Amino acid sequence: MKRFIYKINPVVFFLALIVITGAVAKPQANQNSIHGKISGTVLDNKTGRPLYGANIVINETVLGTASNQTGLYTIENIQPGQYDVTAMMIGYERMAEQIRVLPGQTTELNFSLTPTVIEQPNLIVTASKRKQLIENTPVSVEVVGRRQIQNRSVTQLDEVLQNTAGFGVTDGQIDLRGSTGFSWAAGSRVLVMLDGHPMITGDGGAINWDIIPVEEVERVEIVKGAGSALYGSNAMAGMINIITRDPSAKPVTRYKMGWGFYDEPAYSGWRWTDRFLTHQLFDLKKLPESPLTFEQFRLSHSRQIGKVGFLLTLGRNRSSGYQQNGNFSSWQAMLKTKIRFAPQKILTILGNWGLNNHGDTIMWQNQESPMTVPPEGLGDWVYYEKGNIQVTFQHAVNKKLGYTLKANIYRNNWQNHFHDNLDWAITDRMATEAQADYLMGRHALTFGSEVTYHYTESAIYSNHQTWDFSVYAEDELKLSPIWTFTFGTRYDYHNIPGISSDRQLSPRLGMVYKPAAGTSLRLSAGRGFRAPSIAEVFANISVSGFHVVPNLELKTAERANSFEIGIRQILLSPSKSKSSLSFSDNPVKWFFDRINPGFLFDAAVFWTEYYNMIEVSLEKEIKFDYLKRARIRGIECRVQGNLFQGFINLNLGYTYLDPVNLEDNEKLHYYAGQTLNYRSRHRLVTSLEFHSGRLTFGWDYRYASRIEEIFPIYLTDERVPMHVMDARLILALGSIQIGIEGKNIRNYHYTLRQRFLEPVRSYRLTLKGEF
Amino acid sequence: MIRIFILLLLTALLLSCYQGNGLSPTSPQDEETGISGHITFIGEWPDSTREVQVAVFKNYPQGITNTDSLLVFVISAFLGGELFLSDTIPMFSTEYDYSIPLEPDTYAWVLVIWYPDIINYREGVKELGAYYADPEDMDVPSPVRVMPGVMAPDIDITADFSRINRELPFFRVREEH
């Protein structure tokens, strides 16, 4: 049967988008004469300094804003009346005030926030696709804040995120609570978004971490558990929303320079070159010549011109790599523009581009020389260019109704330059979404619709396209201040013209119970799904002796039913200020006075049943195929704490997994009861930071138990647990920050997939600042 | 003072978490790469049999119409490193399990070959049977792909001694898929 391929032109799509956006964003007549304003400042009540980025929301409405660099904020277009207004910011106690807004007048309302020892945000936007208090979410949420990102010397964001509980990264793909293991770069069970727009490639469902400007990330929200009820395909095990900084109100230029080098492996026999800098330094007869180093440079500028705010950033990374074919050379640029057309009418346009030419190592030569590749593969490299443009238009129509229109185009263009493979692919992903939020008494309704189109031209997949249509709705019902229920569902239609079509219904149910201040119990159940990616259905590739063949029988999505029950508890010191009690008067109180502890404790039990899970089969060739039934269940505990008035910050996360296949499957080489491939049963992450004056000392430790089962090749290869330690020292001198960091400081050697040695010890020096 | 003490204590504790260096150069026993399968013999072993083996060719003999050309093809494949042979199959076997180590690659022709004794050498080497992925479709032999670290199983062949009398040419070549 002949298939009709009709391609949507990305340029036409974008132009149509501009026209539509221009129409809806047209400024309206000034309504200030009948509506009022709230304006004021948000300050730190200890230092008196203005707080930048504090959220100010009018309770029980969709209205809100954030403070600028001078701490100022304004909320316009408010219908006259009495309101409760809350100011909140990461690291500060929430503060609420009641005010009356009068027609045509500006009501001044200033906030003075008290620092708290718990460094967690109050508002998140990912779990329910709208602003929501973190304790009201029925699922596990972890937020990585700007300080946690900025204090680490990294080139890619995944290097930071792997310090969060239950989070693993193998070959760039996310393994969240055992969702994926190792996916051969085809198909992600976690939806990664940039400012709410999906950042999954249209062909393989891969995540391009190198396109995300780490220095411009405000925070990352990690939502664990099935999220398909709002987000559809890919969100079957969770969502990761990377939220970038907003443009500054006043001109700011930021810079970052980094340099580092790779240390020698622990065994002299593995030293594949004399270009290791440490080796050269000890050999005084010889001056260093093209050592194994890496460099990083990033420059950004942000300012506001009238109603338009800009953030422009340019980055450059280069590395020789620590092993053969480990080199890369990349460029990245981003422009974020935020235009406030009218009160509560904001248009954000973000353009992102990246080019990364990198060497490629499929497998090492042998374990006697794991940092070298087979001779014929030496010099194999990949050209990879990618770019996206995403547009978001937000409009709070009135205090009860707001809507968001979104559209994006994401293009990926890559070509192998291997000794035995010159495959290439160009893939476009285009998506539009309309979403509305409506507050109605105790109900907070969120509903919308989404259309996604993928088109790929390629030597590896041929030319194919897919269409996805969906509608969704969710209701958050606040029965009382202590009981909140969530009900929602989403309908998705997935179509590969001429090949297959599939329909999915993804309901979700959630409940939050807050019996006391600081305590929140949650329960959620939901269905997730993931449509097979173009790569899984159509890939036909031969490289380095591996042959992957298409499987046109992958016609339906893989599905998962998830259940979670959890608790979130905040534990604060009984006294906020140091008393004059002596140890003999009251030893317990004396102890608490001195350590002044503050802890956030979060624990969850989760259970997910998978149906038609797509895994890799191996018969004569490699093929993606269905594993009929699997189950992943486990527990996760997380402690975030602060001791000695901020002297010590502690993060601790432990995840236990029981990932098991439930039915025999000869093709996939699985028997019932077998542990799923590439999953670690135990995972532990620990981060400690000591702050004293200008100095910060940080230490991270990641442990994952030995992977029990792997894809059935090289079964006799040695496998070891992962033990990775990083340490850093940061000196802050005004607006300048100097950091020295050691990565994998124990120089521990391990693999996460077959025959690929993970990075050896490296040292990094960074200088960053702003003016 | 208490802070400095805690810092020193924790630093010492953290640095003491020594776990060795993980992987070491000790090379594990390599997983065998190649093909394996089962051979079923049909018919009587002829008295003129010198030897029977499983042979694997990288390429398929195209356009060969006589014994001499086939011999040239076999010899050139052998000299060019494109022919791989199993151990000799014990005489009068009715069934036999074989395995042949091979480099990862695609092999066009896996067959059971029969060598005549020295008196009948002019009859040439004969094919008793080849590997067909689909036993219902025995038009042309199926190519076999060998992947790194995998001893591909189930490359089964039915060897029929009645085929000794079959005349050349063999089969037309199917395009690889």
The ipTM is: 0.71
Q: Which CATH class is domain A136-770?
A: mainly beta
In order, the DSSP letters of B117-156 are: -GGGGGG--EEEEEB-SSTT--SSPPPEEE-TT-EE----
Decide if A762 contacts A260 (C-beta within 8 A). yes
- State the pLDDT confidence band at A329, using cuts at 50, 70 and 90: very high
- State the pLDDT confidence band at A393, using cuts at 50, 70 and 90: very high
The predicted structure's pLDDT at residue A499 = 84
Whether residue B26 and residue A544 make contact (CB cut-off 8 A), yes or no, is: no
Q: How many CB pairs under 8 A join A and B?
A: 104
Which residues from A are below 8 Å from B24, CB to CB?
267, 718, 749
Whether residue B28 and residue A366 make contact (CB cut-off 8 A), yes or no, is: no
Instruction: Enter the tokens of residue A121.
Output: 């945000």
Interface test with A, best of B150, B151, B155, B176 (most A CBs within 10 A): B150
Q: What are phi and psi of B135, to 5 degrees?
A: -60, -20
Whether the per-residue pLDDT at A213 is higher than 80: the answer is: yes
> What's the alpha-carbon Rg for chain B, to the nearest Å?
26
- Dihedral sign for Cα atoms in the order A279, A281, A283, A289: positive
Task: DSSP letter for A302, please.
Answer: E
Decide if A365 contacts A168 (C-beta within 8 A). no
Whether the per-residue pLDDT at A116 is higher than 90: the answer is: no
CA distance A196 to A450: 13
- B138-159 average pLDDT score: 84
Whether residue B22 and residue A748 make contact (CB cut-off 8 A), yes or no, is: yes
Q: Which residue, A340, A331, A335, A333, is CA-closest to A302?
A: A335
Whether residue A367 and residue B28 make contact (CB cut-off 8 A), yes or no, is: yes
Whether residue A699 and residue B14 make contact (CB cut-off 8 A), yes or no, is: yes
A 10 A CB-CB count for B112 gives: 26
Task: DSSP letter for A621, please.
Answer: S
Interface test with A, best of B19, B23, B103, B142 (most A CBs within 10 A): B23
Q: Are strands A648-661 and A682-692 parallel, antiparallel or unpaired?
A: antiparallel
Whether residue A620 and residue B152 make contact (CB cut-off 8 A), yes or no, is: yes
Q: Which residues pair with A72 in a beta bridge?
A: A41
The predicted structure's pLDDT at residue B175 = 44
- A422-449 average pLDDT score: 92
pLDDT digits (tens, 9 = 90+) for B73-119: 877 888 888 888 888 899 888 999 999 998 888 888 899 988 888 66
Q: Are strands A64-66 and A55-58 parallel, antiparallel or unpaired?
A: antiparallel
- What percent of chain A is predicted at pLDDT more than 70? 92
The predicted structure's pLDDT at residue A475 = 94
- State the pLDDT confidence band at B8, using cuts at 50, 70 and 90: low
Instruction: Enter the tokens of residue A607.
Output: 């259970």
CB of B10 less than 8 A from some CB of A: yes
Which residues, at least 6 apart from A278, have a Cβ–Cβ distance to it below 8 Å? A261, A263, A264
Which residues, at least 6 apart from A542, have a Cβ–Cβ distance to it below 8 Å? A420, A421, A548, B106
Question: How far does the CA of residue A116 sit from the closest CA of chain B (Å)?
Answer: 20
CB of A227 less than 8 A from some CB of B: no
Rama region for B58: left / alpha / beta (φ>0; ψ in -120 to 50; rest): alpha
- Of A713, A720, A746, which is closest to B150 when you measure between CB atoms? A713
Q: Which residues pair with A566 in a beta bridge?
A: A522, A604
Whether the per-residue pLDDT at A577 is higher than 60: the answer is: no
- State the pLDDT confidence band at B174, using cuts at 50, 70 and 90: very low
Q: How far, CA to CA in Å, does A67 sit from each of A25, A56, A84, A123, A491?
A: 23, 8, 17, 14, 38
The predicted structure's pLDDT at residue A434 = 93
Whether residue B24 and residue A749 make contact (CB cut-off 8 A), yes or no, is: yes
CB of A376 less than 8 A from some CB of B: no
- State the pLDDT confidence band at A575, using cuts at 50, 70 and 90: low
- Of B18, B23, B147, which is closest to A750 when you measure between CB atoms? B23
pLDDT digits (tens, 9 = 90+) for A535-553: 899 988 888 778 888 998 8
Which residues from B are below 8 Å from A362, CB to CB?
none
Instruction: Enter the tokens of residue A57.
Output: 């929301």
CB of B2 less than 8 A from some CB of A: yes
- State the pLDDT confidence band at A637, using cuts at 50, 70 and 90: very high
pLDDT digits (tens, 9 = 90+) for A43-92: 988 888 888 888 888 888 878 888 887 888 888 878 888 888 888 887 78
Nearest CA in chain B to A713: B149
pLDDT digits (tens, 9 = 90+) for A673-690: 899 999 999 999 999 988
Q: How far apart are the first and last CA of chain B?
A: 74
Which residues, at least 6 apart from B9, have a Cβ–Cβ distance to it below 8 Å? none
CA distance B133 to B157: 10
The predicted structure's pLDDT at residue A49 = 86
Lowest mean pLDDT among A264-268, A276-280, A516-520: A276-280
- Of A690, A716, A751, which is closest to B23 when you measure between CB atoms? A751
CB of A283 less than 8 A from some CB of B: no
Whether residue B26 and residue A367 make contact (CB cut-off 8 A), yes or no, is: yes
CB of A259 less than 8 A from some CB of B: no
Edge-to-edge strand order for the sheet containing B49-57? Answer: B83-85, B49-57, B109-116, B126-130
- A749-765 average pLDDT score: 92
- What percent of chain A is predicted at pLDDT more than 90? 48
Whether residue A546 and residue B148 make contact (CB cut-off 8 A), yes or no, is: yes
CB of B29 less than 8 A from some CB of A: yes
Q: Which residue, B85, B105, B91, is CA-closest to B47?
A: B91
The predicted structure's pLDDT at residue A599 = 86
The predicted structure's pLDDT at residue B14 = 63
Q: Where are the domains of chain B?
A: 41-165
Burial of B122 (0-12, 13-18, 19+ CB in 10 A): exposed
Instruction: Indicate the average pLDDT of chain A.
Output: 87
Decide if B147 contacts A545 (C-beta within 8 A). yes
The predicted structure's pLDDT at residue A63 = 84
Q: Which residues pair with A395 in a beta bridge?
A: A345, A403
Q: Where are the domains of chain A?
A: 31-116, 136-770
> What's the alpha-carbon Rg for chain A, to the nearest Å?
26
CB of B8 less than 8 A from some CB of A: no
Whether the per-residue pLDDT at A374 is higher than 70: the answer is: yes
Whether the per-residue pLDDT at A464 is higher than 50: the answer is: yes
What's at A284, amino acid-wise? L
- A96-108 average pLDDT score: 86
DSSP 3-state percent helix, strand, coil across chain B (nearest 5): 20, 30, 45
- State the pLDDT confidence band at B15, using cuts at 50, 70 and 90: low
Which residues from A are below 8 Å from B147, CB to CB?
545-547, 618, 621-622, 713
- A482-506 average pLDDT score: 91
Maximum CA extent, chain A? 88
Task: Name the CATH superfamily, with its identifier, for domain A31-116.
Answer: Carboxypeptidase-like, regulatory domain (2.60.40.1120)
Decide if A636 contacts A168 (C-beta within 8 A). no
